Amino acid sequence: MRYFLDPFGCAKNQVDGENMMALLDKAGWSACDDAGEADLIIVNSCAFIQSAKQESINAVIAWKRRYREKKILLAGCLAERYQRELAESLSEADGLLGSGEWDRVVPAAAELTGGPAVSPPAAWGERPLTGFPGSAYIKISEGCDNNCSFCAIPLIRGRLRSRRMDDIAEECAALFGRGVKEFCFIGQDLASYGKDFAAAAPDESPSPLRLLLDKIAGLRGHFWARLLYLHPDHFPPDILDLMEKDERFLPYFDIPFQHAAPSVLAAMGRSGNAETYLALLDTIRKRLPSAVIRSTFLVGFPGETGADFEHLLDFQQKARFDWLGVFAYSREEGTAACGMKGRVNKKIAAERKARVEEAQGPVSEKQSERFMGRGLEVLVEEKIGAGYAEHSADIYLGRLYCHAPEVDGAAVIESALPRGIVPGGLYPCTVTGRAGIDLRVTL
């Protein structure tokens, strides 16, 4: 029996998909790259915002129209949140499997197809990796207790549930043994990691996240450890101590500030303000001069005035983010913000989004200039065809420590790869120039 996985959504969903693949593989199923050859098509869905929901639903409908004889299993967040409604309204889905029950994928697949029904347990470190070679996402927690008024994640993924430190360390060791050089730690909020542990205290020092990273630091060998998504209101400052003394823990910070206007932050359910957020950035940069900061903004939130938006633009210029993503507010049923008054016109929200993006371009380019001439490491990712930019020969793309997977710029490797250098490895390089938001490097 063969299966095809059609992935949607975030890195957390990607890890769930990889774990489902591991269980199916152990049960005797075989993955295939062509849905036309599969007995089962799994759509691993997203339900974060309305457009993501529709994209996943459209995929189920499209697959069933194309392959009426095949079984379609709708898995992931959409199936978790709307299981009853979809069972009644989406006849194209032959089965539903929520994100909270991905470990039941084998019996669910067997029920639809008559395929193998029993799977031996599969360790997280055994899962197939579906990203670029040399890099893996490490999920350290599930769910979230922050309850930001705009966010549906607690409705989908539930309350915070942190994984055991020993389990995470074992996963990292197993993946490192398979050649993984970059661990990208993910969760709905890494800063909250371990706060649900029985012995945890709000003012505990060292923080649970620091204790976890200390355990990872015991892994011998060279690797990159990257932290993705740290809520600014509970940023654990003791992680900076480790980054100062162990260069394997990258000075890359993904901190989603979302806004800066006091009234908007309060309505979002956040306790910080522009001053405390700028002070946090100042602390990070003073202690780690090579720090790279990524953030996200949410514009068009209910009640956001023109003055609030100008406040946000002022904060953006003062913060000097290396990278910034911006989203227009999406009204999600069940969230506290859904019923708030003062809705912002969609056209105005889109215009504000465009203004933030336009203002960020020159800032990101200016920030990247500090890397010129520096000797750094590059994680080689892939070979691309001839003709990129002004080049006529085949070249390679990779990432420096300042580039998180998929969301930031890239390192364009201009020199021919020396013998023995392959995608998935970390190699010394020199930054020689810039092409837009990408950096040019030579090996």
Class of domain 372-442: mainly beta
pLDDT of residue 415: 65
By three-state DSSP, how is residue 205 classified? coil
> For residues 100-113, b (16+ Cβ closer than 10 Å) or e, as one string?
bebebbbbbbbebb
pLDDT tens per residue, the chain (443 residues)? 999 999 998 899 999 999 999 999 999 999 999 999 999 999 999 887 788 889 999 999 999 999 999 999 999 999 998 888 998 899 999 999 998 899 999 999 999 998 888 878 878 888 999 999 999 999 999 999 998 999 988 888 889 999 999 999 999 999 999 999 999 999 999 999 999 886 656 666 789 999 999 999 999 999 999 999 999 999 999 999 999 999 999 999 999 999 999 999 999 999 999 999 999 999 999 999 999 999 999 999 999 999 999 999 999 999 999 999 999 999 888 899 999 999 999 999 999 999 999 999 999 999 999 999 999 999 999 887 654 555 545 678 999 999 999 899 899 887 666 676 788 999 999 999 988 889 999 88
The CATH number, out of the four listed (3.30.2010.30, 1.10.3720.10, 3.40.50.150, 3.80.30.20), of the domain defined by the range 124-370:
3.80.30.20
Pairing of strands 40-45, 2-7: parallel
> For residues 34-44, b (16+ Cβ closer than 10 Å) or e, as one string?
ebeebbbbbbb
Type of residue found at 266: A
pLDDT of residue 200: 59
- CA gap 442, 419 in Å, rounded: 14
- 20 is written with which tokens? 């489902």
- CA gap 283, 146 in Å, rounded: 24
* Shared fold status for 2-113 and 124-370: no
Q: Does domain 2-113 have CATH number 3.40.50.12160?
A: yes
DSSP states of 217-268: HTS-S--EEEE----GGG--TTHHHHHHH-TTEEEEEE---B---HHHHHHH
The structural domains of the chain, with segments of one domain joined by +, span 2-113, 124-370, 372-442
pLDDT of residue 116: 83
pTM: 0.91
Question: Distances from the Cα of 15 to the Cαs of 20, 27, 142, 283, 351, in angstroms?
Answer: 9, 19, 11, 33, 34
pLDDT of residue 47: 85
Per the document, the length of the chain is: 443
> Which of the 8 DSSP states describes residue 99?
G
202 Cβ contact list (under 8 Å, min separation 6): 195
pLDDT of residue 291: 97
